[in-house]
Amino acid sequence: MAHHARRIMVSLSRRSWTHFEPLHAIVYFAPESRERYAEAGLRGGWMGYFASRSAPMGAVGPEVVTAVFHNFQPAMVHRAIPDAWSYSSPARVIAARLDAVDAALRRLWGADTESPAVAEAADLALRAAAHLHVDGRALYAGHAGLPVPSPPHLALWHACTLLREHRFDGHVVALTVHGLDGLEALIMSREAGKAVDAVTMRSFRGWSADEWQQGEQRLRVRGLLDGAGALTAAGQTLHTAVEDTTDELAAEPWTQMDESRRERLLTLLAGLATKLQGPGGLVYPNPIGVTPPTPA
């Protein structure tokens, strides 16, 4: 019975993630983001990414960003941080990010941006996020310290961002507990069929072909990859353990929420996520692992 209950919790947590992740992730796909970051003084798309996502923690250095973001080649981070803070400031970048989200959602949702459905989803998502805790969650804690934006569509994006970064912090914990560094985690994810091709993954995370091969070799030594680079039975077991631990660490908002309200929220999020697809919006598959909402 205990195992059955755990499987239900894991499944619910994972399904919920596929619903709020697309709404958060629009900030990584929308062309408005690059435009607003440039207006805020940042130089280049990657500087905009590293600075905007880390800005809620303050003007932290590259070591902190590398540690918290986990799977980027350190040199890639160093090319953007701390230079970003000589061109702009955390407050200015946070404002630019929110402005980009505002513009992107208004473009993609149109009149629906100010619909009762968005307001209802924002209220329910904030209720879910109210169950989150900052313990051991540096990236989430930074975002949790920001004020909730007043327009409902931005409040909804903020709530989805809280849920997402809380889950991401937990994912890094799960990877660390199971002895996987950032590069090894990418390789495991790729071989589990949950990412785009290796060349694209390397380019989006800054790893060279040699470094990728070294990571594969470390996993082979542990018996997690076979000679062809595929996951062994032990590798699949470890990958499943990481994913299940991630889901367990992210489950509380969904297990504590009234079932009818939870399912209503997921229904609303699924509909809104669908309207984010297309030119200048979400594309599947993608290098950050965002997937369409999983039905019940």
pTM for the model: 0.96
Instruction: Please tell me the predicted confidence (pLDDT) of residue 4.
Output: 66
What pLDDT tens digit does each residue of the chain (296 aa) get? 477 677 778 899 999 999 999 999 999 999 999 999 999 999 999 999 999 999 999 999 999 999 999 999 999 999 999 999 999 999 999 999 999 999 999 999 999 999 999 999 999 999 999 999 999 999 999 999 999 999 999 999 999 999 999 999 999 999 999 999 999 999 999 999 877 888 999 999 999 999 999 999 999 999 999 999 999 999 999 999 999 999 999 999 999 999 999 999 999 999 999 999 999 999 999 988 899 999 87
* Sign, CA torsion 10/16/20/21: positive
Instruction: Please tell me the predicted confidence (pLDDT) of residue 9.
Output: 80
Q: How many CA atoms lie within 13 A of 278 on its CB side?
A: 10
Instruction: Please tell me the predicted confidence (pLDDT) of residue 1.
Output: 43
Question: What pLDDT, in 10s, does the model give residues 105-150?
Answer: 999 999 999 999 999 999 999 999 999 999 999 999 999 999 999 9
> Environment class of residue 295 by beta-carbon count within 10 Å: exposed (0-12), middle (13-18) or buried (19+)?
exposed
Sequence-distant (≥ 6) Cβ neighbours of residue 279 within 8 angstroms: none
